[in-house]
Every structure is written in C-alpha cells, then in structure tokens.
Amino acid sequence: MLTSFFGKSNPINYLLLGVFIIAGYLLGAISHSEIFITPSLLVLHLAFIIISVLSMLLLDFIIRKNHLTKNNTYAILFFTCFLVMLPVAFLQHTMLLANIFLLLALRRIMSLQSDKNSERKIFDASLWISVASLFHFWSLLFFIPLWIAIVQKPNSNYKQMLVPFTGFFAVIIINTAYQLVTSDGFSWFLNWKDDVSFDFSAYNSASILVPVTIILALYIWTSVHRILKISALPLKEKSSHLLLLYVSITALFITLGASEKTGAEVLFILAPVAIISANYIESSNTEIYREKDPTEFWFKETMLWIVVLLPFVFLLV
C-alpha cells in the first residue's frame, strides 16, 4: 500500500520521485516544445531539470529541519505528483526560478521558530524573496509571512522588523547596477510590476482544470481538517502549523497575481499544500488507526492513489 511505502523515509523513495520529476519534465516540457532542440537548449533544459529536482529535495529539507511532518515522504510525494500533474509548469522557467527562491526564503522563515541567528535568517529570507520578485513580481507578498514569523518568534523586537528592508534594497541596488551596465537604463524598474490578469480561459482545458481543481480541493479539505485539529497540537508545533497556513494563503495570492493564467502559476501553492496534505495522510499510517477507523484509512489510501495515478494520465494525453 502507498501509505506504508511512503510512510517511511527510504533512499529509494527519493530516487523514484527524482526519476518521476525528470520523466515528467522530459514528457511535459521537451516533448511539447515546438522549438527545435539545439545543444544550448538541451543545456538549459538540463539546468531546469536539476532545479525541479532540487525544489523537491529542498522542500524535504525544510520539512525535516522544522519537523513539519513525521518521518515520512508523503509531502514530497504530493509535491512531485502535483508538479508532474501540471507539465505546463515546466515550460515557465521564470516561475520555476521564483519558486525555488521562495522555497529558500521559506526555509529561513520556518527556522525563525528557533531564536538563533535571527537577524541573519531574516536578512537571508528577505534577500531570497526579493530575488524571487525579479522573476515574479508578486513574490514580494512573501514578506507578509516573514513579518508574521518575526512577530511570532521568541524575543522579537522592532529592529528585527526593519531587517527585511535591508535585504530588499540590497537586491534592488545590485540589480540596478547590473541593469545600468548591461542595458544602460532604469527601464527594468518600470516594467518590474506585473499586471494582474483575470483571464482564466486556459483553465477551460481539462488537462489544467482537473489537476488544479484536485489540488485546490485537497488544499481546502486538508486545511479545514488542520484548523480543526490545531488546538490539540503542542504549543511549539501550533505556531509552526499556523505559520504554514499563513504561507499557503500568501502563496495563493501570489498565484492569483500572475500576469498570464496558464496553469503554471499554481506552482507557488504546491509546497504548502503538499505539507498540509501530508499532515492529513500521516495520521493513518498505524495499525491501530486502521483497526479503529478503517473507512477513513481507505479513504486516505484511495486519495493517495488518485494523486499518484493522475500525473500518468495527464502526461500521456
């Protein structure tokens, strides 16, 4: 059963998921590309295959470092399946870059629960968020969960609230200097802000509408379940899970801020939804639970099978 296999953290799990992402990229991006493949383009695709796999591994690192799930690989299974379920995301390289920088920022934001090197963590997070905004402007909204994390952390003070501005202006100054050298102008700043598009016509395609609907349905279902159970969590875990909910809501607004709705923008909510979904699934991975509530156990098992099988359907159509 899938709950048993991915309920453990084995090297084979990472290998399988890494291969799955590579296969998904090859089938979803390269095979659907109308551009003639050249050696330079192959190198570019190889770089983004590596970035896609690193995104999965980085998410796993964030989870383990901050104890966001139990010792399992459910979250990266969800993330991988969601990603491959939406092969259009592989075609949007700027969003892949913005997403991995936001994951680097998330790593620092979640680690603020520990009161060590706080100023450095805040600066690093603001730096990564600002870099992500160069590829997707509305990534700047990620400053909201950063400030929430600063308020929640132990021994918070007003000086730490100002540190994010340092990271932001550092990126702005460096990028302005680079643009002056390469293009001799400030036009990048005028074109930086993306217009929000409300044209969802691309969602009329079943290959986009169905996976997005499933991802959002899982997000709503598991978030409500988490909110109802959050009062039972220990105080230390409660703050982390609340922060994760704030991150997921922010990621949803970043998704809605995309200047072109192609389905690839859903990439930004995959990581928080994957973690929240893993929290929901992992409670059934015990023999006692199976005997106590077999109906819910098989419901979760079926849900996991659907998430795993759907990427194959959308890759082959």
> What count of Cα atoms within 13 Å lies in the side-chain half-sphere of residue 145?
33
Do 45 and 29 contact (CB within 8 A), yes or no?
Answer: yes
State the pLDDT at residue 310.
Answer: 86
pLDDT in tens, 266-317: 999 999 999 999 988 886 555 555 556 677 777 788 888 888 888 888 776 6
Q: Which helix (H) or strand (E) element contains residue 220?
A: helix 206-229
Q: What share of the chain is helix, strand, coil (3-state, %, to 5)?
A: 80, 0, 20
Do 56 and 104 contact (CB within 8 A), yes or no?
Answer: no
State the pLDDT at residue 184.
Answer: 66
pLDDT in tens, 157-176: 778 889 999 999 999 999 88
CA-wise closest residue to 165 among 129, 115, 136: 129
pTM: 0.92
Using CA atoms, how far apart are residues 193 and 148, in angstroms rounded to an integer? 24
Question: Residue 301: how many CB atoms within 10 A of its CB?
Answer: 17
* DSSP code string of 136-187: SGGGGGGHHHHHHHHHHSTT--HHHHHHHHHHHHHHHHHHHHHHHHHTSSSH
State the pLDDT at residue 270.
Answer: 96
Collect the ranges in the chain with pLDDT lower than 50. Answer: none
State the pLDDT at residue 287.
Answer: 52
Structure-token pair, residue 188: 């990048």
